[in-house]
Amino acid sequence: MARRSFSSASSGPSLWVWLGVALVVILLDQLTKTLILGDFRYGESRTVTSFFNVVRVHNTGAAFSFLAGASGWQRWFFVGLGAVASAVIVWMLKKHPGQKLFCFAIAMILGGAVGNVIDRLIHGYVVDFIQLHYAGSAFPSFNVADSAITLGAICLVLDELLRVRKT
């Protein structure tokens, strides 16, 4: 019986490895959001440290609550945008399986995007719960999916800097 390998010497990890990375992000994101929904009332906040709170907030907009005040069309716009972005990312993962940092970056972005799309489909908003603050000012609340997207974006920039440096 032939054994199927998840990676080869020439191409690196297969599409399934990168989709597995995205799935881990989705599962962690949804697990943490489920815990917050079960243990916190809307708006409830608990202090963890002098600069970090856990708070339950709902974001109907995009990053930093962009378009949160719109009349509701943004829910389906962001669901559609997430679906299109996910399809493009899967295509890019298939096309460039050997570019490990690049694939890690977009797998993180994929997992985060799908995690937030799931929220929009189920709740009509994204559940955010991580709040950082200092000296009376608070950074907009975010979640595991947002963190994965941010890490993915940082890795994309790093990947590009390393690629340019090689040429």
Which residues belong to the active site? 128, 146
Helix (H) or strand (E) holding 138: strand 137-138
Of the candidates 82, 119, 79, the residue with the CA atom closest to the CA atom of residue 128 = 119
Give φ, ψ of 50 to 5 degrees.
-70, -10
Angle at alpha carbon of residue 53, lines to 47 and 56, rounded to 5°: 110
Q: Which two tokens stand for residue 82?
A: 């997430």
Give the C-alpha separation, 95 to 38, whole Å. Answer: 40
Total Cβ atoms within 10 A of residue 64: 11
Using DSSP's 3-state secondary structure scheme, residue 9 falls into coil
Using DSSP's 3-state secondary structure scheme, residue 145 falls into helix
DSSP 60: S
